[in-house]
């Protein structure tokens, strides 16, 4: 049986990034992917400024080849139909864009292979065990693979984390998204949006009790979906069709546009991250959705996935060189320090307020419409410009005289536009 330095279970963005970094550091790395290269995952397909910048600087410039459209800004639509329009300056348009996840994920796998990682497709790992100081990953077809360390990048539905002693995801740590990515004549859509003077993404608050609905354009497709916590994951068709009607009335979708939701995905959302993301006993680190690395406000998971994956690979290299699996505990300290506090302390404080009720979502949009600096900071948060965006947003809204702004917001116009 061939033995590896590292087995990465799961070939999504987190797994592929971890494999690329580990291989570059000299680790003999194997990726076990349950599906095939080019498999799809349902999400909006927005690559933030922070994600593309990180991948270009740390992984490969090739990732930019997958971007179909650049993000020119975004439009937040409140439950009452008010529009907060944020146009990105040239600085924020430098990185970030819109991708098809099947293409984006496949490119990351290809990059990992080009760095020297071995990829075996169609392998679902069903068990992890220990033997003679090594870890054994066993697949459903009874194949066994040995390694010194493991990185778990399997998402939230897999139970491997629980089998090695990681805390299970609870109901208040899970969310779901559903919708479609359908072929469409985008010239019709862009003509409808021509008054924007830029290509935006749309975020609709109020279409679900927590979370939001989105409409993201691609070159020849429309990605439309809703994300909310798992407790509200029901009445899917009714909620989705109501959302489409709201979007048609807002003139974001053509009046004759019709679609059905045809895909869904379970994600971490709410009280994230996972309460523990490493196992010294099983020499394992969890990354991406398996670690709960999703922003509590935006539901965006790629930033935490790739950033955490790079940290995981570097920590594994350090533990391997020292022949000391106890070093794996440094992983959790490091990701908390580098991006965790911003996302899961300050981000969670914002989300806990914003998603209390439809009234709070409406007031949140109105307050930012009345506060240009707050709106600008929201622009940086949506772009995930750096590791302080949630902190800066929270500091702004907590330092405001909200009563004065709330009174001012009562006279808020139906549309406000700022540039960031």
pLDDT tens for 277-294 read: 999 999 999 999 999 999
Query: Environment class of residue 337 by beta-carbon count within 10 Å: exposed (0-12), middle (13-18) or buried (19+)?
Result: exposed
Which ranges constitute the DSSP H helices of 141-199?
160-163, 186-192
Query: Considering only CA atoms, which of 310, 292, 338, 291 is closest in space to residue 18?
Result: 310
Cα dihedral value 239, 245, 246, 249, nearest 10: 180
Lowest mean per-residue pLDDT among 79-93, 159-173, 395-409? 395-409
Q: How far apart are CA 336 and CA 321, in angstroms?
A: 23
Question: Which is it for the CA torsion 298, 300, 301, 303, positive or negative?
Answer: negative
Whether residue 402 has pLDDT greater than 80: no
Q: Which residues pair with 193 in a beta bridge?
A: none
Helices (H), 277-354: 302-322, 329-335, 341, 347-354
Distance of CA 402 to the CA centre of its chain: 30
Helix axis angle, 302-322 relative to 49-58, nearest 10°?
30
First CA to last CA across the chain, in angstroms? 55
Q: How far apart are CA 59 and CA 62, in angstroms?
A: 9
State what percent of residues in the chain have pLDDT above 90.
90
Residue 38 has a pLDDT of 86
Give residue-wise pLDDT tens across range 344-396. Answer: 999 999 999 999 999 999 999 998 998 999 999 999 999 999 999 999 999 99
| Three-point CA angle 58, 420, 13, nearest 5° | 30
For all residues of the chain together, what is the average pLDDT?
95
- Burial class (CB within 10 angstroms; exposed 0-12, middle 13-18, buried 19+) of 335: buried
What Rg, from alpha-carbon coordinates, does the chain have?
Answer: 21
State the pLDDT confidence band at 58, using cuts at 50, 70 and 90. Answer: very high
Q: Are strands 415-419 and 212-217 parallel, antiparallel or unpaired?
A: unpaired
Q: What is the phi-psi region of residue 144: left when phi exceeds 0, alpha when psi lies from -120 to 50, beta otherwise?
A: beta
169, 184 in Cβ contact below 8 A? no
* Greatest pairwise CA separation for the chain in angstroms: 71
Dihedral sign, Cα of residue 294, residue 287, residue 50, residue 335: positive
Predicted confidence at residue 273, as pLDDT, reads 98
Alpha-helix runs per DSSP H in 62-100: 90-93
Pairing verdict, β 144-152 and 284-286: parallel
Q: Which residues, at least 6 apart from 333, have a Cβ–Cβ distance to it below 8 Å? A: none
Q: Give the pLDDT band of residue 412 (cuts 50, 70, 90).
A: confident
Q: Is 298 exposed, middle or buried (0-12, 13-18, 19+ CB in 10 A)?
A: buried
User: Which candidate, 296, 289, 254, places its Cα nearest to that of 274?
Assistant: 289
Q: What is the mean predicted confidence (pLDDT) over 32-36?
A: 96
Cross-sheet strand order for the sheet of 200-204: 263-268, 174-183, 221-229, 212-217, 200-204, 73-77, 83-87, 415-419
Contact residues for 45 (Cβ-Cβ < 8 A; gap 6+) = 98, 99, 100, 101, 104, 181, 216, 218, 223
Q: How far apart are CA 85 and CA 69, in angstroms?
A: 19
Task: Specify the DSSP class assigned to residue 168.
Answer: P
75 and 83 Cβ atoms separated by less than 8 Å: yes
Cβ distance 147 to 7 under 8 Å?
A: yes
Query: Which residues, at least 6 apart from 401, have a Cβ–Cβ distance to it below 8 Å?
Result: none
pLDDT at 327 over 90: yes
Closest CA relative to residue 35, chosen from 21, 15, 19: 15
Contact 111, 60 (CB under 8 A): yes
Q: Which residue has the tokens 């479609």?
A: 180
What DSSP element (H or E) covers 362?
Answer: helix 358-369
Reported as a single tens digit per residue, the pLDDT across 176-220 is 999 999 999 999 999 999 998 899 999 999 999 889 999 999 999
């Amino acid at each position: 049986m061939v033995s590896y330095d590292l087995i990465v279970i799961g070939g999504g963005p987190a797994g592929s990034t971890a494999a690329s970094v580990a291989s570059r550091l000299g680790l003999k790395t194997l990726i076990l992917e349950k599906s095939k290269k080019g498999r799809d995952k349902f999400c909006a397909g927005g690559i933030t400024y922070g994600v593309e910048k990180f991948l270009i600087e740390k992984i490969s410039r090739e990732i930019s080849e997958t971007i179909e459209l650049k993000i020119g800004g975004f439009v937040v639509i409140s439950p009452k139909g008010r529009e907060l329009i944020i146009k990105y300056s040239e600085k924020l348009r430098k990185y970030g864009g819109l991708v098809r996840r099947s293409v984006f994920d496949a490119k990351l796998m290809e990059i990992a292979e080009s760095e020297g990682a071995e990829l075996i497709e169609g392998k679902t790992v069903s068990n992890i065990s220990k033997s003679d100081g090594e870890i054994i990953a066993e697949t459903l077809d009874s194949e066994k693979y040995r390694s010194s360390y493991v990185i778990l990048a399997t998402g939230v539905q897999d139970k491997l984390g629980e089998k090695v002693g990681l805390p299970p995801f609870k109901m208040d740590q899970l969310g779901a998204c559903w919708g479609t990515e359908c072929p469409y004549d985008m010239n019709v859509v862009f003509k409808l949006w021509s008054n924007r003077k830029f290509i935006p993404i749309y975020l609709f608050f109020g279409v679900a009790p927590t979370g939001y609905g989105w409409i993201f354009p691609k070159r020849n497709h429309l990605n439309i979906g809703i994300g909310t916590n798992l407790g509200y994951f029901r009445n899917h068709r009714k909620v989705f069709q109501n959302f489409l009607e709201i979007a048609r009335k807002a003139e974001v979708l053509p009046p004759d546009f019709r679609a059905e939701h045809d895909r869904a995905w379970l994600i971490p959302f709410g009280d994230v991250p996972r309460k523990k993301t490493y196992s010294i006993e099983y020499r394992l680190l969890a990354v991406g959705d398996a670690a709960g690395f999703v922003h509590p406000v935006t539901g965006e998971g790629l930033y935490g996935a790739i950033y955490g994956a790079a940290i995981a690979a570097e920590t594994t290299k350090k533990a391997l060189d020292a022949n000391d699996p106890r070093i794996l505990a440094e992983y959790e300290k490091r990701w908390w320090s580098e991006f965790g506090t911003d996302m899961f302390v300050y981000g969670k404080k914002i989300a806990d307020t914003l998603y209390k009720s439809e009234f709070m979502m409406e007031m949140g949009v109105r307050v930012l419409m009345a506060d240009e600096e707050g709106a600008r900071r929201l622009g940086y948060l949506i772009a995930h410009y750096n590791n302080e965006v949630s902190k800066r947003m929270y500091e702004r809204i907590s330092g405001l005289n909200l009563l004065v702004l709330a009174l001012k917001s009562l006279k808020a116009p139906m549309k406000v536009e700022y540039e960031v």
